[in-house]
Amino acid sequence: MRNKVYSNRRRRIHSLFNQVLKTSFISKLMGKNQPDHDLEIDPVTGIYNQFAINHYLKELHPQPESNFGIILFSLDNFNQIKAQYNQKIANKALISTAQQLTHHIRDTDLVGRYSESEFIIILGDVTEDQATRIAGRLTTLVNKKALKANRQNVALKASSGVSVSEKNSISDEVLQQADQALYRVKSSGNNASSNPTF
């Protein structure tokens, strides 16, 4: 089924991205110098940056009998953490969130940092129900996570919006729908996930 989702070129890009991601995390843990991946890797979290994700999105199209999904994931209290503590603790919140996301997705999926406090997850070969369940599970994982700061527990608050491609969808449309779904969740004041169905 994976061959139906990714062309050879896209699978090579995907494989390279995953290798870079694993290497960057391992290098950080071992304290070794990383190769220069400034164009692709977010320096704070070690995951793909917006440039790399946008490059991948341009090549992403629905395939016969399979669709892709996009989850936009927001760390809602990032600015509050930064204001109450400092940038170092806020960065720890980003790193913790990135690790939760990368450790709990499938090998065929991609995750990147999409803005200061938002992440994007691209799901291959997925239904709307599956994407919604994945988003809900990831949101719950992050919301259960707490950081240590000045001997206090700092709770993380996250929300997510989900959209899945249809037959003639382009990635920009799917991304916009996920953004609208995230906006509705954030506007409601709930730390949860939503798909674009009204």
Please give the domain boundaries of the chain with CATH numbers for all domains: 2-194 (3.30.70.270)
Rounded Cα distance, 34 and 18, in Å = 15
| 71 sits in which H/E element | strand 69-75
Cβ(100)–Cβ(138) under 8 Å?
yes
The percentage of residues in the chain with a pLDDT greater than 90, rounded to a whole number, is 62
Residue the block writes with tokens 């919604």: 132
Q: Which helix (H) or strand (E) holds 87?
A: helix 87-103
pTM: predicted TM-score of the whole model, two decimal places: 0.78
Tell me the one-letter amino acid at 31.
G
Residue 39 CB contacts under 8 Å (≥ 6 apart), including other chains: 51, 52
The pairing of beta strand 193-194 with beta strand 158-164:
parallel
Point out which residues pair with 73 in neighbouring strands: 119, 160
SS3 of 33, please? coil
H/E run at residue 127: none
The 10s digit of each residue's pLDDT in 21-79 is 444 443 443 333 344 456 799 999 999 999 999 999 988 877 777 899 999 999 999 99
Q: Residue type for 132, please?
A: T
Q: What is the distance between the alpha carbons of residues 83 and 80, in angstroms, rounded to a whole number?
A: 5
Q: What is the pLDDT of residues 84-141, one digit of tens each?
A: 999 999 999 999 999 999 999 998 899 999 999 999 999 999 999 999 999 999 999 9
